[in-house]
Chain A
Amino acid sequence: MKSSALNISENIQFRLFLLSAIVLLVYKLFISVTGSLAHMLISDLLILLTVAFLFLSLIIYFEKRKASPFSLIMNIGILNAFIFFLITFSDSFMSLLFDNVNERINNPSLTSVLVTLVYLLLIVGFVTYVLVTLRHLFFLRQSKSQQVYFITMIVFFILASLTAPYLSDTKFAFICDTFLIVSVLLMVINSLRISWIAFIVKKEKIALLILSIVIAILFIVNLNNTGDETLHSQMLTSFAPSVKEFASIVMLYGAIYFSVLFFTTLFHIPTAAAFDRKAEEVSSLQYFSKLITQVLDFNELAETVTDITTRIGSADASWIIWRDDEFVPIANKNIGFIDSEKISRFILKKIKWDDINDSTFIRLTDLENKQELSQPYKVAAVSPLRSYGDVKGLLIAVRIGEQKFSDEDKSAIATFSDYASVSIENSQLLEESIEKERLEKELDVAREVQRKILPEKNPEFDQLEISSVFIPAFEVGGDYYDFFKLSDSKLGFVIADVSGKGISAAFIMAEVKGIFESLAKTYLSPKEILVRANDILKHTLDKKTFVSAAYGIIDMEKNQMKMARAGHCPVLLLRGETAQPVKPSGIGLGLSEEKQFEENLDESTIKLEENDTIVLYTDGITEAKNEYLEDFGDKYFTEILLENRKKSAEELSKKVIKEVSMFSHNHMQYDDITLVILKWKQKIKIDGEKEWQSSAPQL
């Protein structure tokens, strides 16, 4: 809504300007200037209206443009140069156009009047534009309350320029002189309000110094040309004397404004650098807050750190090196990789990682091969970046040329590196926790896979008590056990351990389950099943992965167990007061080719006796560790089994697990724990046949 309102009013002002300009042109074209007072008044009124409307529409245009003071000044400079050239060349140009200059002024032709009018309108336009620009400069960084000074000044401009032609040669000349003097006073007062100059940077101030003196001189020259008896001046006078006065006043204002600007800038130059630094410090406060929000992306954070370091420390370049990878500079700001690496190496020769406590400065003068650097870097500021109290990285800022880092730069860099350390530490903490969370999620999936793979419940037989315990490690260990009910009297069982951990182990477990599920139904010999399983796994597993497994079949009609072992822990047979490791030869699955595997795989057959207990386990039990990193061990395991051999399968396994968890309660469980106990219950008359005898405990 506001902008459209602005547009309309601009249009109205601009249209009014066009209208008054046309009326002025027509008036001037058809009514030749005579000494008549009425004519002069009408012409002045038209000019005043034209200028006023142009002035207003230009104000609106400027406010919309929001130009920087610097570009405004450039505008004034260019316009001045234009006016200067117009004035300078008007003489020769006009004489080319008209045979006789005097003739043209005294007895003007239509063309000459038209050309003159266009020329004069151009001058009026330029002068108005300059005035509006000056107004805009006046209002830069000013409160609105100052408006009254400027308006008063403009009123006096008008009064002075309107009264001058009528009164200057009469006894009332003092009136227009007074107006002029007041105008000049107001010009001086208004020219002193140049607060915007403080807000531009040093480089711009230096440029401004040169520009302002040039423009001030241009204004003086133009003023001089307007006042003198030049053709330009004559033309203006013949057109309307008030316009000449007005142009002169604006030129004078410009000359005063830019002279004052020149001196103000001159006095600002010595403090410009300090002012710039203060401004930088203020803006770097904003950067600090940026640091806090950037902890999500470490690289971005590092870039910001070096960026701010170069700004606040007035350095020419900056980068970071990490202790882990000390010769690889990161987040290079204004410096190439090769240069920064060379300087890093030099710095690391001079200081030790553990010795650096505060920001230090290192002269690069004795850097070898320094001529190879693309810039003559002279001094480096080195600040430690700490994380958890240790120096993890160095923030390096370098300067070209002879100027050293000042004390302010020093403290700015030191303070900043502390802030940067905190941010980097936060960033790493966050990264670690995200990584940890990701890992935990992954392991959750792995444990879920494992849980679904393992049998939900144990099969039930009259002759066989079965218990199974599985305790997953935090990092899923890849343990697997399963039962296959082959017939009413035949039970297949398997226990396996996949090498490696985590999600990959869980997926291999799933594969192993599939393999045994299908093989158990096809083959009726443990040896054959393991041979087939090895064939498959040798070709599907990657080279460094393997699976240890033991497969057995209990035939309840024949009272016997057949089993084969592929690299797995032995199966323990508890009989009477002995624990017999059943350990037929066999290589782990996936380690060797078919032939070698088969040749080295033996099968054991065991006649089962009343209360025979078959214990299947994984190394998660025997390798469970206590706080001294001692193993639970085979021996202790066997002792517990034997002590509790008379308990039921369920109670026995509870007892073992209790002992294991007591043993290792001060140490993290690193591997899955699997314990499967099968207890043979069927009472069968032994018909004198000699089977596996317990004549001598063979441990």
Chain B
Amino acid sequence: MAEFSTSVVDKGNVSVINLSGYLDAHTAPTLENDFTELIDQNQFKIVVNFRDLAYISSAGLGVFMAYIEKIRDNKGDIKLTNMNEKVYNIFDLLGFPLLYEIFKSEDEAINKFSESDGIGTK
């Protein structure tokens, strides 16, 4: 099957995970490792950029569910950005837009984090 890879980039106090390729049951552990590492570093503000993701299976969706609870308990969030239509439809069908904030661009998602931070500090 096609390859899958991730890269983690720090942007301010937010970490961005860039996905590319096919995310399914076989490639999911790669993304799981990224989440585990970020959580271990107490980084709970995470944006996942789907720009280069071609396909996501149900097992791929499950990865986000595995960590969201812990991240939100720590006042963080996973925000999803740059989904192509096909990937968005898969998320949409399952009702993920009700569970996650999905943005068109990475900046919007990052800004959303800083906004809520601003509110939090006031």
**Chain B residue with minimal CB distance to A588?**
B94
Q: Can you list, as one digit per residue, whether each of B23-58 has a CB less than 8 Å from chain A (1) or not (0)?
A: 001000000000000000000000000000000001
- Establish whether residues B59 and A543, one from each chain, have CB atoms under 8 Å apart when the complex forms: no
A645 vs B62: C-alpha distance when bound (angstroms): 36
Minimum distance in angstroms from B64 CB to a CB of chain A: 8
Given A499-B58, A499-B61, also A569-B66 (CB < 8 A): no
Q: Can you list, as one digit per residue, whether each of B76-101 has a CB less than 8 Å from chain A (1) or not (0)?
A: 00000000001000000111101100
Indicate the size class of the contact surface on chain B.
10 to 19
Which chain B residues border A570 with CB–CB below 8 Å?
93
Which chain A residues border B58 with CB–CB below 8 Å?
497, 499-500, 546, 548
Q: Can you list, as one digit per residue, whether each of A567-595 has a CB less than 8 Å from chain B (1) or not (0)?
A: 11110000000000000011110011000
- Establish whether residues A546 and B25, one from each chain, have CB atoms under 8 Å apart when the complex forms: no
Instruction: List residues of chain B with CB under 8 Å of any chain A CB.
Output: 2, 25, 58-59, 61-63, 65-66, 69, 86, 93-96, 98-99
A587 vs B59: C-alpha distance when bound (angstroms): 16
Which chain B residues border A548 with CB–CB below 8 Å?
58, 93-94
A–B pairs, 29, beta carbons within 8 Å: A499-B59, A499-B62, A500-B25, A500-B58, A500-B59, A543-B69, A544-B62, A544-B63, A544-B66, A546-B61, A546-B94, A548-B58, A548-B93, A548-B94, A567-B93, A569-B93, A585-B95, A587-B94, A587-B95, A587-B96, A587-B98, A587-B99, A591-B96, A591-B99, A592-B95, A592-B98, A596-B98, A600-B95, A631-B86
Is A501 at the interface (CB under 8 A from chain B)? yes
Which chain A residues border B86 with CB–CB below 8 Å?
631
A566 vs B93: C-alpha distance when bound (angstroms): 9
Q: A500-B59, A566-B95 are in contact. List 17 more A-B contacts (CB 8 A).
A: A499-B62, A500-B62, A501-B25, A501-B59, A542-B66, A543-B65, A546-B62, A548-B58, A548-B93, A570-B93, A585-B95, A587-B95, A587-B98, A588-B95, A591-B96, A592-B95, A596-B98
- Establish whether residues A546 and B65, one from each chain, have CB atoms under 8 Å apart when the complex forms: yes
A499 vs B94: C-alpha distance when bound (angstroms): 11
- Establish whether residues A591 and B25, one from each chain, have CB atoms under 8 Å apart when the complex forms: no
**In the complex, which of the residues A501, A566, A591 has the most CB atoms of chain B within 10 Å of its own CB atom?**
A591
- Establish whether residues B62 and A568, one from each chain, have CB atoms under 8 Å apart when the complex forms: no
Which chain A residues border B59 with CB–CB below 8 Å?
499-501, 544
A600 vs B92: C-alpha distance when bound (angstroms): 13
A592 vs B98: C-alpha distance when bound (angstroms): 9
A542 vs B59: C-alpha distance when bound (angstroms): 12
Minimum distance in angstroms from B42 CB to a CB of chain A: 20
- Establish whether residues B93 and A600, one from each chain, have CB atoms under 8 Å apart when the complex forms: no
Name the one of A501, A545, A600, A629 contacting B98, with C-beta atoms under 8 angstroms: A600
A126 vs B100: C-alpha distance when bound (angstroms): 98
Minimum distance in angstroms from A655 CB to a CB of chain B: 25
Minimum distance in angstroms from A179 CB to a CB of chain B: 92
6 nearest CB pairs, A to B: A587-B95, A544-B62, A499-B58, A544-B66, A567-B94, A588-B94
A585 vs B58: C-alpha distance when bound (angstroms): 18
Which chain B residues border A542 with CB–CB below 8 Å?
66
A592 vs B72: C-alpha distance when bound (angstroms): 14
**In the complex, which of the residues A497, A543, A592, A629 has the most CB atoms of chain B within 10 Å of its own CB atom?**
A543
Given A499-B59, A501-B59, also A543-B94 (CB < 8 A): no
Minimum distance in angstroms from A623 CB to a CB of chain B: 8
A585 vs B62: C-alpha distance when bound (angstroms): 20
Q: Can you list, as one digit per residue, whether each of A557-568 has a CB less than 8 Å from chain B (1) or not (0)?
A: 000000000111
**Chain A residue with minimal CB distance to B64?**
A544
A596 vs B68: C-alpha distance when bound (angstroms): 16
A568 vs B94: C-alpha distance when bound (angstroms): 6
Which chain B residues border A544 with CB–CB below 8 Å?
59, 62-63, 65-66
Minimum distance in angstroms from B6 CB to a CB of chain A: 17
**Chain B residue with minimal CB distance to A668?**
B1
- Establish whether residues A568 and B63, one from each chain, have CB atoms under 8 Å apart when the complex forms: no
Which chain A residues border B25 with CB–CB below 8 Å?
500-501
Minimum distance in angstroms from B71 CB to a CB of chain A: 12
- Establish whether residues B94 and A591, one from each chain, have CB atoms under 8 Å apart when the complex forms: yes
Which chain A residues border B62 with CB–CB below 8 Å?
499-500, 543-546
**Chain B residue with minimal CB distance to A547?**
B58
Q: Can you list, as one digit per residue, whether each of A419-454 has a CB less than 8 Å from chain B (1) or not (0)?
A: 000000000000000000000000000000000000
A676 vs B21: C-alpha distance when bound (angstroms): 32
**Chain B residue with minimal CB distance to A545?**
B62
Which chain A residues border B94 with CB–CB below 8 Å?
546, 548, 567, 587-588, 591
| Residues 515 to 569 of chain A near chain B (Cβ within 8 Å) | 542-546, 548, 566-569
Minimum distance in angstroms from A628 CB to a CB of chain B: 12
**In the complex, which of the residues A544, A546, A568, A588 has the most CB atoms of chain B within 10 Å of its own CB atom?**
A544
Which chain A residues border B66 with CB–CB below 8 Å?
542-544
Minimum distance in angstroms from A287 CB to a CB of chain B: 39
Minimum distance in angstroms from B32 CB to a CB of chain A: 9
Which chain B residues border A567 with CB–CB below 8 Å?
93-95
A500 vs B98: C-alpha distance when bound (angstroms): 22
Which chain B residues border A501 with CB–CB below 8 Å?
25, 59
Which chain A residues border B98 with CB–CB below 8 Å?
587, 592, 596, 600
**Chain A residue with minimal CB distance to B54?**
A629
**Chain B residue with minimal CB distance to A625?**
B55
**Chain B residue with minimal CB distance to A633?**
B86
Minimum distance in angstroms from B84 CB to a CB of chain A: 13
**Chain A residue with minimal CB distance to B69?**
A543
A547 vs B25: C-alpha distance when bound (angstroms): 15
Which chain A residues border B95 with CB–CB below 8 Å?
566-567, 585-588, 591-592, 600
A366 vs B19: C-alpha distance when bound (angstroms): 43
Which chain B residues border A629 with CB–CB below 8 Å?
2
**Chain B residue with minimal CB distance to A567?**
B94
Which chain B residues border A587 with CB–CB below 8 Å?
94-96, 98-99
Minimum distance in angstroms from A361 CB to a CB of chain B: 38
